[in-house]
Structure formats: C-alpha cells, structure tokens
Amino acid sequence: MSKKQDEVVETTEAQIAVHWKEEDYYYPSTKFIAQANLTDEGIFDRFSLDNFPDYYTEFAELLTWYKYWDEVLDSSDAPCYKWFKGGKLNASYNCIDRHLKDNKNKTAIHFVPELEEENVQHITYQELYVRVNEFAALLRDTAKLKRGDRVTIHMPMSAELPITMLACARLGVIHSVVFGGFSASASADRIVDSQSRVLIVTDAYYRAGKLLNHKFNADEAVQIAEEQGQTVDTVLVWQRYPGKYSSDTPMVEGRDIFVNEKLKDYYGARVEPEQMLSEDPLFLMYTSGTTGKPKGCQHGTGGYLAYVTAMSKYIQDIHPEDVYWCMADIGWITGHSFIVYGPLALCASSVIFEGVPTYPDAGRSWRIAQELDVNIFHTAPTAIRALRKLGPDEPAKYNYHFKHMTTVGEPIEPAVWKWYESAVGKGEAIIVDTYWQTETGGFLCSTVPGLNPMKPGSAGPGVPGIHPIIYDDEGHEVEKPGIAGNICIQNPWPGMFQTIWGDRDRFVDTYFGMYNTKPDSKDWKDWPYLTGDAATMSEDGYYRVLGRIDDVINVSGHRLGTKEIESASLVVEEVAEAAVVPVNHEIKGKEPDLYIALKPGIDATDELAAKISEAVCEQIGKIARPRKVWLVPDMPKTRSGKIMRRVLGAISNKGDVGNVMTLANPEVVEEIKNMVEK
Ligand code: WT7
C-alpha cells in the first residue's frame, strides 16, 4: 500500500481538507432535541465494544421477522460474516405489508416529474402494495425469475424503480441497479458479472428539459453482453407515459415486453413474500475500485435492512409523519439505503425527483420543498455548491422549513457548510455530515443529531456501534489528534457488504489485506476493515475525512476509478498510454484530466482528442467525461518506467511539480507544463 501511495497524485482531497482550521461547534435547537428519536446518552455505553455484537439486536428489533435469529453474529467464515443467523424475513414485507394495518392510506412515495406542468404522483402504501405484488407476479410468471436469480435494472429516477426493486425483494430475486446515467457498456459489464438473463429498463426520462431515449441503451447493452457470453432473453420496458412508447428504438420481438401492457394480465395478483434467510443477498451494487473492473458489493437481507432502518431512525431522525427528501439517485447506494429501504421500513413518505435540482432554475428544489412541505432534506456537497453558486438567495424566497439536513459523499468545505446551515436550513435545521461508502451499506461516522453538536468540515464520531481507528501504513494506531492516517473500522457491523460478488479473494485482499496478520483467524478482532480513506481525528473524537488513498476520484460525489477511465481510453486504437489525475473543480469537487501518449507516427489532433473523450463517455457514461484530453509527447516516468501521475496531477492543478530530476525523462515535464498552462 505504501508503494501504491507513491503513485497517488499530490493534489488529493487530503491536502485540501487537512488545512481547514478546526471550527467551533453548532448546537441543535431545544425544539429539535425535544422531538429527536435518540436522546439517550447511554447509547454510547450500551454500544461499546465490550457489548459487541449483542448491541445490534436493538437494530434488528426494528424489523418484523418470520423467525428470530439464533445467533447475532456468525464469524466462522471471517471476514465474510453472517448477521442474525437463522433469522427469516422479507424486505418487501418490512417496507410495505407491515404498514398496511395502520397506514395504508399514507403516502409512501411522492414522485416529482421534472416537468413542472406534470402532476406530482402521491403513491400510498396500499397502492405500493398493489403495484409491487402485481409486478412481482409478472417477474415470476412472465420473466420466470425465482429466488436467488440476479436481475439487472437500468432505470432513471421514477416511482417504478423502487416498485421494481421491492418486487424483486418480495421474490428473493437479487437486484442489481445500474445508475440511469451510465452507458450501455457499463450496464453490459454488470449484466455479465452478475449473470443476469433479465434486464429491466424505462423507455425514456426527462433530464434538464430533454426527454432522453433510454431504451436505446438496453439494445446495445444486450448486444455487448451477448458478445461476452451472457444472453439476456427478456427485456422488460416500463413506459414513462403508460400506454405510450416514448422511444424510437424498435422493440425486439420475443425479447422485449412492455410492462404496462403485460401488467393487465396480473390485475389483482398477490404474491406471498419469500421467507428469506437473514444472510441471503438482497442486492448487488457495483462500485469503482483500483482496477478497471467494477466490483459487485453484495448486501445481505437482515443485516442490511436492520442497519439502514436504524440509521434512518436515529441519524436521519425520521418519524412516520415526516416528509423526507433525499435528493440522491436510487442508482447509487445512498438512494438504495436512504430513499428506498430505510425510510420505507420506517413508514415514512419518501420523495423521488426525476430531474436536475437546478433546472429550470435555482429555485426548483425549494419549490418542491415548499409544495410537499418537506422537513428532512438530504443531499451532497456538489449539489449544495451548485445551488449556492446559481442562487444564493433563492431559499429565502420559499416558504419551507427543514428540521434536519444531511450532507454526504465528499468532504464539505466549512464555508459551504455554513451557507447550507444559514441559507438552506434558515438557521433552524440541524445538519449531519454522514461519512460512509457503497460497501458499508449505511453510516460509519456522523453526529447523532440530538446528542452531539455539529462541527463544520468534520463528519463526527463513529455512529453508535461503529468503532473507527486510524492506522499508519505500518499498522500502528495513530493516536495523536490531527495526524492523518488510514481510517479503519475495528468491528464488523450488520450493514457491511458480505463479499464482492463472485470474488471472495478480491474482497479479502482489498478491504482486509493491509492490516490482517492472521489470515486464518475466525476472530473479528483480527480483521479491521480498511475504508480506503485518509482521515484525522481531533481531540473530541470527531473524524475529518480527507479523501481516498487509492486510485479513486470523487466527481460530484460519484466514485470513478482512474484505472477505469484509463482502460476506457485505451480502446481507441491510436492510444499507447493513458493516465488520469483529479483536478479540483469549484462545484464538482474533482474532475478527471486525461493524459494520453499516442502510438508512434500518429499525429496529435483535436479530432483525436475528441474521439478519446467520446470513447470514455461511451464506455462509462457522461459523468466520466474528462475535463480535458492532453495529447502529450511522452508520459513523465520513473527510471523503472512507472508513469508519474503525481507530477501530472501537480501540473493539472497548477501546483508545484517538485523535484523531477530523478525521472527518466525530466525534459518532458516542462513540455507538458507549457501545453497545459498555455
Ligand atoms: C467515498 C465513498 C456514501 C454514499 C455516497 C458515496 C467519500 C463519503 C463522505 C463524507 C467525506 C465522504 C469517501 C468514501 N465520502 N461520504 N461525509 N465526507 N468524504 O459512496 O461512491 O461508495 O463513495 O466517498 O471517500 O470512501 P461511494
């Protein structure tokens, strides 16, 4: 790992965040505390390591079980853990059926279309129950899906997306949702890796005022998957406007089915929820890592659902009467945990917004908040920065009142935090800065809103039950406050992913290889979890996350692997070598800069640079579009031939390249500098 760190660019988020000065506390209002779900200070004692793992039964008891568990934690296959072993439950039952008796008439989902002239759809728990059952019957009888099968879902933000996920969960089918903005090729990779024979899509959706043809991606994805040996025999197509096809891509006879038409055959169908084992997988969520191939994080049923329900209750502080809006995309883990599973398990009303928060103007988000009377708001620093830049005074024009707000996904600058607090929160809302990952299912660090004061720029202590520790590269604990090291979690927790789909070795290696010294140990104490982030702890036990220690870039809160972008550019025939470095960006946090060395004899032209940029978008998605493709005469290299990304990163960020005289080709640094600084 320490070797790998040499290659990491100098201008990481770490360098920025570590220089933020320690801020003063902000305290929650007495009004907030009076209604908070968690005000018992005893929680931290109860959830101390001495009481591990039994304290997690408090979380599991928030759910309804067909059969109680025999054992809270089975670590006999460490670090692949089984939580609430022997227990049986169904996630769809917990998110829907159990609320019907008292709350069937309550709104489960407010779907807000992007077009303001279209009505908001308010879907009650009863309606959700009916639609999930009918669709589950279709999945079972038409698509022939059964317990344990995997299905790939490539859909935009819509009410049909959680309906699809919950229908899968009802049958015990493992869903793998691909972010709607990802390309056909990214969808194909996930189809192949998860061995899905069914793909579920939407024909079209609105984004920044345009109705985008989405069905087109399905055809391409199926074709690419086929070339890689995975046949998709059924494509289920939801219609953005039921009864009307909004795409000009033809339907394929014998393979493609309009869901809305087919559902007529299932009118009134009810499907008994499968009684799943707690450790049965609920879903896969692919995320970027240090190699080109995204990894399928496998999340279990009982542990995951218990964890996100508890986090929604105690950290998001959701009460059944709240209107809760998490502005993330369901195609990411935040949406899975904190739009769908957590809030619905608590019988909350969850808002799903199809569009872009700043479209058609910077007031759009606040109009939605006002109209639906949203009182809990959850978003990412990148959106906060954009809203602040485009309309710093907009929130004051609308009559909404948040009691609670979340920021998640990347470090937030104290200045941006303060604008969020005063302008968006109108000085009335508490803020939680939740630090976590796709792998962790739910929060690792955050303040408990009714118990810990807030501190701009710091996520906070480990949430109850999570015991972080900072290690240096040699595995010694960094005890001194303010000194950066690798943040790890000492104990397993129920929300943690179970493994990487089909690749246990990679799971063990990536997340535990660095600090586990006893590979045969069955004792969880020997398996600290490596997050892959650098962090510092301050005197008060609050953690400040500084950014990734590996080759991952956080663009607008979306995680992209530098290797993934590099290998995407290498499909262009003329490209010999590629190197990606993160560049600071005012709104997005980071953007990728792509350096390319061409094969001998090939001319560097603007057309070629554009072609390479397109190739990246095609293979990953537009979010990966490089800020700039630099066609350089050669890569700066060490004498052993390693590309010096650190030097390129410094050039891109107009920083100091340091001493480059030990490189094999120091002269090229000056050439590249002239090119970039021109
Ligand atoms: C990476 C995980 C967590 C859901 C969304 C992103 C960074 C996440 C914070 C935060 C500073 C943060 C870390 C982490 N990150 N939350 N509150 N403060 N950094 O999930 O795509 O798996 O990315 O996002 O670097 O490792 P993800």
**Any ligand 1 atom below 6 A from CB of 334:** yes
Residue (of 185, 195, 189) closest to 231 by Cα position: 195
Determine the residue of 179, 410, 463 to mutate for testing ligand 1's pocket, defined as the one with the most ligand atoms within 8 A of the Cβ atom. 410
Please report the atom of ligand 1 found closest to the CA of residue 532: 26
Q: Mean pLDDT across the stretch 213-240?
A: 97
User: How many CB atoms lie under 10 A from the CB of residue 54?
Assistant: 11
Q: How many helices (H) and strands (E) does the chain have?
A: 23, 30
**Any ligand 1 atom below 6 A from CB of 436:** yes
Q: How far apart are the CA of 220 and the centre of ligand 1, in A?
A: 31
Q: Mean pLDDT across the stretch 450-457?
A: 96
What confidence score (pLDDT) does residue 55 get?
98
Q: How far apart are the CA of 548 and the centre of ligand 1, in A?
A: 9
What confidence score (pLDDT) does residue 290 get?
65
Return the higher-pLDDT residue of 545 and 12.
545
Checking 338-342 for CB contacts under 8 A at 24+ apart, the result is 338/308, 338/311, 338/312, 338/378, 338/406, 339/162, 340/95, 340/162, 340/165, 340/166, 341/91, 341/95, 341/304, 341/305, 341/308, 341/309, 342/308, 342/309, 342/311, 342/312, 342/316, 342/318, 342/442
Q: What does the pLDDT look like over 367-388, one tens digit per residue? A: 999 999 999 999 999 899 889 9
Determine the residue of 463, 559, 623 to mutate for testing ligand 1's pocket, defined as the one with the most ligand atoms within 8 A of the Cβ atom. 559
Which residue in the block uniquely carries the two structure tokens 């591990």?
52
**Any ligand 1 atom below 6 A from CB of 90:** no
Q: Mean pLDDT across the stretch 160-189?
A: 96
State the Cα–Cα distance between residues 325 and 338, nearest whole angstrom.
9
Amino acid at 397: K
**Any ligand 1 atom below 6 A from CB of 294:** no
The 3-class SS string of 417-475 reads HHHHHHHHCCCCCEEEEEECCHHHCCCCECCCCCCCCECCCCCECECCCCCEEEECCCC
State the Cα–Cα distance between residues 245 and 240, nearest whole angstrom.
8
Q: What does the pLDDT look like over 238-263, one tens digit per residue? A: 999 999 999 999 999 999 999 999 99
Three-state DSSP class for 113? coil
Of 33-37, 306-310, 391-395, 619-623, which gets the smallest average pLDDT? Answer: 619-623
pTM of the model: 0.90
**Considering the chain, what percentage of its residues have pLDDT values greater than 70?**
97
Q: How far apart are the CA of 652 and the centre of ligand 1, in A?
A: 23
**Any ligand 1 atom below 6 A from CB of 288:** no
Q: How far apart are the CA of 638 and the centre of ligand 1, in A?
A: 32
Please give the biggest Cα pair distance in the chain.
75
Q: Mean pLDDT across the stretch 408-413?
A: 89
Q: Give the residue, by CA position, lying nearest to ligand 1 atom 1.
A: 437
What confidence score (pLDDT) does residue 12 get?
41
The token pair at 80 is: 């692949």
Please report the atom of ligand 1 found closest to the CA of residue 557: 6
Q: How far apart are the CA of 97 and the centre of ligand 1, in A?
A: 32
Could you give the C-alpha distances from 656 to 92, 312, 318, 548, 579, in angstroms and in order? Answer: 54, 44, 47, 21, 19
Please report the atom of ligand 1 found closest to the CA of residue 445: 17
Q: How far apart are the CA of 530 and the centre of ligand 1, in A?
A: 14
Q: What does the pLDDT look like over 635-677, one tens digit per residue? A: 998 776 778 888 999 999 998 888 888 788 999 999 999 999 8
What confidence score (pLDDT) does residue 17 get?
53
Residue 556 clears pLDDT 60, i.e. is over it? yes
Q: What does the pLDDT look like over 282-339, one tens digit per residue? A: 999 999 876 667 899 999 999 999 999 999 999 999 999 999 999 999 999 999 999 9
Q: What does the pLDDT look like over 604-635, one tens digit per residue? A: 999 999 999 999 999 888 989 999 999 999 99
Of 215-219, 410-414, 467-471, which gets the smallest average pLDDT? Answer: 410-414
**Any ligand 1 atom below 6 A from CB of 533:** yes
Q: How confident is the model at residue 18 (pLDDT cuts 50, 70, 90)?
A: low
**Considering the chain, what percentage of its residues have pLDDT values greater than 90?**
82
The token pair at 502 is: 């089909």
**Any ligand 1 atom below 6 A from CB of 460:** no
Q: How far apart are the CA of 547 and the centre of ligand 1, in A?
A: 8
What confidence score (pLDDT) does residue 453 get?
98
What confidence score (pLDDT) does residue 19 get?
61
Q: Mean pLDDT across the stretch 119-125?
A: 98
**Any ligand 1 atom below 6 A from CB of 459:** yes
Q: Give the residue, by CA position, lying nearest to ligand 1 atom 5.
A: 409
**Any ligand 1 atom below 6 A from CB of 234:** no
Q: How far apart are the CA of 442 and the centre of ligand 1, in A?
A: 11
Q: Mean pLDDT across the stretch 91-96?
A: 98
Q: What does the pLDDT look like over 529-538, one tens digit per residue? A: 999 998 999 9
Q: Give the residue, by CA position, lying nearest to ligand 1 atom 20.
A: 437
Looking at every residue in the chain, the average pLDDT score rounds to 93
What confidence score (pLDDT) does residue 658 get?
83
Q: Give the residue, by CA position, lying nearest to ligand 1 atom 14.
A: 437
- The set of residues, in sequence order, having a beta carbon less than 8 Å from that of 674 and lying 6+ positions away, is none
Three-state DSSP class for 620? coil
State the Cα–Cα distance between residues 651 and 670, nearest whole angstrom.
10
Q: Give the residue, by CA position, lying nearest to ligand 1 atom 6.
A: 409
Q: What does the pLDDT look like over 44-70, one tens digit per residue? A: 999 999 999 999 999 999 999 999 999
Q: How far apart are the CA of 677 and the centre of ligand 1, in A?
A: 31
Helix axes 215-227, 184-194, angle to 10 degrees: 50
Q: How far apart are the CA of 556 and the centre of ligand 1, in A?
A: 11
Determine the residue of 545, 553, 555, 590 to mutate for testing ligand 1's pocket, defined as the one with the most ligand atoms within 8 A of the Cβ atom. 545
Residue 3 clears pLDDT 80, i.e. is over it? no
Q: Mean pLDDT across the stretch 570-594?
A: 91
Residue 468 clears pLDDT 60, i.e. is over it? yes
- The set of residues, in sequence order, having a beta carbon less than 8 Å from that of 501 and lying 6+ positions away, is 193, 194, 284, 295, 296, 297, 298
Q: How confident is the model at residue 8 (pLDDT cuts 50, 70, 90)?
A: very low
The token pair at 76 is: 């006999």
**Any ligand 1 atom below 6 A from CB of 447:** no
Determine the residue of 290, 435, 447 to mutate for testing ligand 1's pocket, defined as the one with the most ligand atoms within 8 A of the Cβ atom. 435
Residue 10 clears pLDDT 60, i.e. is over it? no
**Any ligand 1 atom below 6 A from CB of 14:** no
What confidence score (pLDDT) does residue 291 get?
65
Return the higher-pLDDT residue of 659 and 149.
149
What confidence score (pLDDT) does residue 599 get?
87
The token pair at 440 is: 């962790």
What confidence score (pLDDT) does residue 566 get?
87
